[in-house]
Structure 1
Amino acid sequence: MAVVALAGGLGAPGVTTTAMALLMAWPLAPGQRVILAECDPDGGAVLPGALQGTVSNTYGLRNLALAGRQGQLADAFWRQLVDVTDEASRDRLVLPGVYDPAHTSSLGPVWEQLATLFAGIEQHQHDVLVDLGRRGAFGPSSVLAQRADAVLMVARNTLRGLQSAQVRLGALREQLGGATEVGLILVEAGPFGRDEVQRNLSTEVVAVLPWQPEQAAVLSDGAAQPRRFESGELMRAARTATTRIRQMVATRRSRLGHPGMPGGREVSNAR
């Protein structure tokens, strides 16, 4: 199974919206699940956004602080997950982030424990997407990036967005030391093309997501789904992205001698 961290730069590049798109598009075989863990030190956005406050903010990351100090995080973690599927199938789950950034200071010991939990979660047939927001790939929570199979920087393909991404990518490479795959997900809101970005930032553009504010609002703010949302351009691009991300993870694990592909299947056969 895969652990994939998503991070951003300055402004609002759309990290959480991208993470939600990947969560909903992630291919799952019977018995498998995917979790989106909101680990943004600046606070979570899914509960008041995509879920529109329909779930109590008593769930989530902040409840793991006490459990972590008591050595019970592994058990408490599963009770904090929220099902985001209409069918209540519990195969696409969210660990809501803190709703008040002030709570982040109590999570110091939690980050390492979460990183360990995520690294061993494949025994439960789960993949994990980790939303690190703008700051989470650095500082106390950076262990989540360091222990991931891949770290993907989300950036708009504008001059401002790419300049910010360039600085963050340089810092990430220095921090990770080549042990983790690093790539870019571009949100196509500017004039710079995929090839140009790859050449100038010396980083693979793993996926390009279209600038589709109406479709993105479904994922970011719980807006009513426009017609043919699931077959629309944004979700099609997200499904394509999951294929390439899983290939990245498979390549890394093969290089490190990890047995098998993510999910125990050849990526090309994923549905």
Structure 2
Amino acid sequence: MTVIALVSAKSCGVTTSALAMTLSSTRPSLLAECDPSGGTLRAGFFQAQITAGTGLYHLAVAERAGEDALAQAFADHLVRLDDSGHRQILPGLTDPAQAPALERTWPALAQVMRVLSDEGGYDVVIDAGRLALESGRLHPTLTPAPLLHGADLVLLVVRATDQSLALARHMAEPLRNELTDRGTGAEALGVLLIEDGSRRAHEVSEALRLPVMAALPWEPDTAAYLAGTGRAPRKLNRSALLSSARTALGHLQAAASRRALHQQYPPTQPVPAVRPASAVPQVAGVLQRLGQGRVDPRV
């Protein structure tokens, strides 16, 4: 299906937006909280009900033990958002000091995300957190760069304010260059606009020289619930935020599909033989392990 990575220049609602998309997806969905500065879902949305014994850091430990250990750990450290296992979350780091241990693990995780999307039918949303630069490039430790390189789409989350635009403007060009040189191309990059401010989509697009691929309304009550600071609104599933997230996800899926077709069948070029992602030993067994115990939501 689709792998979408969300990033920001500063805290702009990346985690809340990623969670809204995961909850609103009509297909199996996974939110991977991969912010090197630490995750917030554990203390926020989950109200500290998940201990440090579950989450992203343990995958770094497992990856060093071998391929099968990584597959087992990935499945074991997911947290279900519903009884069917239709929606799941990989909680993030509990301490930013753990981030260096993941530097060699990111490429393997990028392969796992690809398999879940292409063969498992999952919508994968990656919370990549706040961007960090070093000499004009993505910082190798403070940004999960391999996850951005492998994503179908990378969305720079921006609020509709002058301050947010000013901060994002300095990140847009380095991120565009990074995806051109090491990712799937500059066309993968766009903006997810949080409509909290006076700036309109066309103004944001012009300022950043990026397309606004999706927009979400500013709905404080639902956002507070997703952040763990408020109660669930009445008729949560009908909230403007989740409804818009569902629509936005559909648009993004369509955009990613168009890009994939264009890349797979370029004009006048033969179609190359592609090695299935699941054939890569590093991710062997992931789909099988995730499928154990998951109930088909259509039943």
TM-score (norm 2): 0.80
How far apart are residue 136 of structure 1 and its match?
6.8
How far apart are residue 120 of structure 1 and its match?
2.0
1:60 aligns with 2:55: yes
How far apart are residue 200 of structure 1 and its match?
2.5
1:231-246 aligned within 5 A: 231-246=238-253
Aligned to 1:175: 178
Aligned to 1:45: 40
1:133 aligns with 2:129: yes
Instruction: Give the whole-Å Cα distance in 1 for the aligned partners of 2:254 and 2:241.
Output: 20
Moved more, 134-143 or 196-205: 134-143
Aligned to 1:248: 255
In structure 2, give the amino acid aligned to 1:115. A
Q: Which runs of 5+ in 1 are unaligned?
A: 260-271
Q: Check the 8 A contact 1:3/1:118 in 2, yes or no.
A: yes
1:78 aligns with 2:75: yes
Q: Check the 8 A contact 1:207/1:237 in 2, yes or no.
A: no
How far apart are residue 198 of structure 1 and its match?
1.6
Aligned to 2:7: 7
Instruction: Give the whole-Å Cα distance in 2 for the aligned partners of 1:124 and 1:237.
Output: 25
In structure 2, give the amino acid aligned to 1:127. D
Q: Can you list the C-alpha shifts for 1:25-79, whole angstroms capped at 9, x where unaligned? A: 1121xxxx21100110000111111111122231110101111111221221111
Alpha-carbon spacing, 1:179–1:19, altered in 2? closer, same or farther (3 Å)? same
How far apart are residue 233 of structure 1 and its match?
1.4
Q: CA RMSD in A?
A: 1.9
How far apart are residue 104 of structure 1 and its match?
1.0
Q: Which runs of 5+ in 2 are unaligned?
A: 266-270, 272-299
Q: Check the 8 A contact 1:61/1:96 in 2, yes or no.
A: yes
TM-score (norm 1): 0.88
Q: Check the 8 A contact 2:45/2:227 in 1, yes or no.
A: yes
Q: Check the 8 A contact 1:83/1:93 in 2, yes or no.
A: yes
Aligned to 1:191: 198
Q: Check the 8 A contact 2:176/2:186 in 1, yes or no.
A: no
Instruction: Give the whole-Å Cα distance in 2 for the aligned partners of 1:179 and 1:68.
Output: 30
Aligned length: 253
How far apart are residue 222 of structure 1 and its match?
5.8
Alpha-carbon spacing, 1:6–1:189, altered in 2? closer, same or farther (3 Å)? same
Instruction: Give the whole-Å Cα distance in 2 for the aligned partners of 1:74 and 1:222.
Output: 34
Aligned to 2:264: 257
Aligned to 1:215: 222
How far apart are residue 210 of structure 1 and its match?
1.5
Aligned to 1:25: 24
Instruction: Give the whole-Å Cα distance in 2 for the aligned partners of 1:214 and 1:127.
Output: 25
How far apart are residue 124 of structure 1 and its match?
2.3
Instruction: Give the whole-Å Cα distance in 2 for the aligned partners of 1:135 and 1:203.
Output: 17
Q: Match of 1:133, SS?
A: strand
Alpha-carbon spacing, 1:143–1:246, altered in 2? closer, same or farther (3 Å)? same
1:120 aligns with 2:115: yes
Q: Match of 1:51, SS?
A: coil
Instruction: Give the whole-Å Cα distance in 2 for the aligned partners of 1:233 and 1:108.
Output: 37
How far apart are residue 243 of structure 1 and its match?
1.1
Identity among equivalent positions (%) equals 36
In structure 2, give the amino acid aligned to 1:13. C
1:166 aligns with 2:161: no
Q: Match of 2:249, SS?
A: helix
Instruction: Give the whole-Å Cα distance in 2 for the aligned partners of 1:80 and 1:57.
Output: 11
Q: Match of 1:57, SS?
A: coil
Q: Check the 8 A contact 1:112/1:143 in 2, yes or no.
A: yes
